[in-house]
Amino acid sequence: MWAQEPASGPCRSPSQHRQTAKIISGDGLLTDTFSTPNSDFADEFPSSEVVGIDLAPTQPSWVPPNCRFELDDASRPWTFDDESFDYIHIRWMMGCFEDWVRVYKECFRCLKPGGWVEHIDCSTVIRSNNNTIPEDSIWTDWTRAFTEVANKTGRTLRIIDDDIYAGWMKEAGFEDVHTKPIVTPIGSWPAEPRMKEIGQFNKLAAEMGLEGYVLYLMTTVLGWEYEEVQVWLAKVRQGLRNKSQQPLMTW
């Protein structure tokens, strides 16, 4: 999602979301967290200054000279001056904040007039277009489990669903707010080669990240035993390999 569209159009393609928009006028960029996207962005726009923030010190030291990282909690008042950035990028921060309007208000304050914020997140709802996912499938359970976690922690995971975040952005003061849902497959079931490749990456990312996504939340927030989580994860892995299902996730 982005508020106000630069002439070049910020969302070039799903695979480029990590780098996203052209810098509009200039010299300041704030991107959320993380190494490679920020470094890539800094390489692509060498006259810009790129700042990435994250709670955790996971960033590499080998970065372009115009890129730096700061450890900070983005849910608290930001340390940056008013009107100091042309562009702010947020990706995959679902569940990180209790109050998104507050975060967007900081974006608004720190953006120069005419600047842009672009936020890319995903839905926890996994569905199919052709009824290949039954109501009692692990994917329905997946959504139910994450919804329960969100309800208990007060950190909603419903961000892009029903364009909720567009409302929060407007509440924070943004005008000219656009949303663009991008539906991607999970698994290699699509016939079309590009979608098949995206699906393979989605499946790989899910398989590799699965335990990390859920173990802490399910044991501490939902009170599950470690063994219960492992059984549940095994069902999700089975779901990922189930060739009769054609799951889709939305970004």
Ligand X SMILES: C[S@@+](CC[C@H](N)C(=O)[O-])C[C@H]1O[C@@H](n2cnc3c(N)ncnc32)[C@H](O)[C@@H]1O
Which residues are near ligand X by CB under 6 A? Answer: 32-34, 53-56, 58, 73-75, 91-93, 96
What is the C-alpha to C-alpha distance for residues 230 and 238, in angstroms, rounded to an integer?
A: 12
Smallest distance, Å, CB 246 to ligand X?
Answer: 25
- Least distance in Å: CB of 132 to ligand X? 28
Cβ nearer to ligand X, comparing 3 with 120: 120
SS3 of the chain: CEECCCCCCCCCCHHHCCCCCCCCCCCEEEEECCHHHHHHHHHHCCCCEEEEEECCCCCCCCCCCCEEEEECCCCCCCCCCCCCEEEEEEECCCCCCCCHHHHHHHHHHHEEEEEEEEEECCCCCCECCCCCCCCCCHHHHHHHHHHHHHHHHCCCCCCCHHHHHHHHHHHCCCCCEECCCCEEECCCCCCCHHHHHHHHHHHHHHHHHHHHHHHHHHHHHCCCCHHHHHHHHHHHHHHHHCCCCCCEEEC
Q: Rounded to whole angstroms, what are the CA distances from 245 to 130, 197, 209, 217, 235?
A: 9, 17, 21, 27, 14
Q: How far is the CB of 57 from ligand X (least distance, A)?
A: 9
Q: Which of 76, 235 has the CB closer to ligand X?
A: 76
CB of residue 53 vs ligand X: minimum separation in angstroms? 6
C-beta of 133 vs 236, nearer to ligand X: 236
> Among residues 32 and 106, whose Cβ is nearest to ligand X?
32
> Nearer to ligand X by C-beta: 52 or 247?
52
102 touches 164 (CB < 8 A): no
Of 7 and 56, CB closest to ligand X: 56
> Of 33 and 202, which CB lies nearer to ligand X in the complex structure?
33
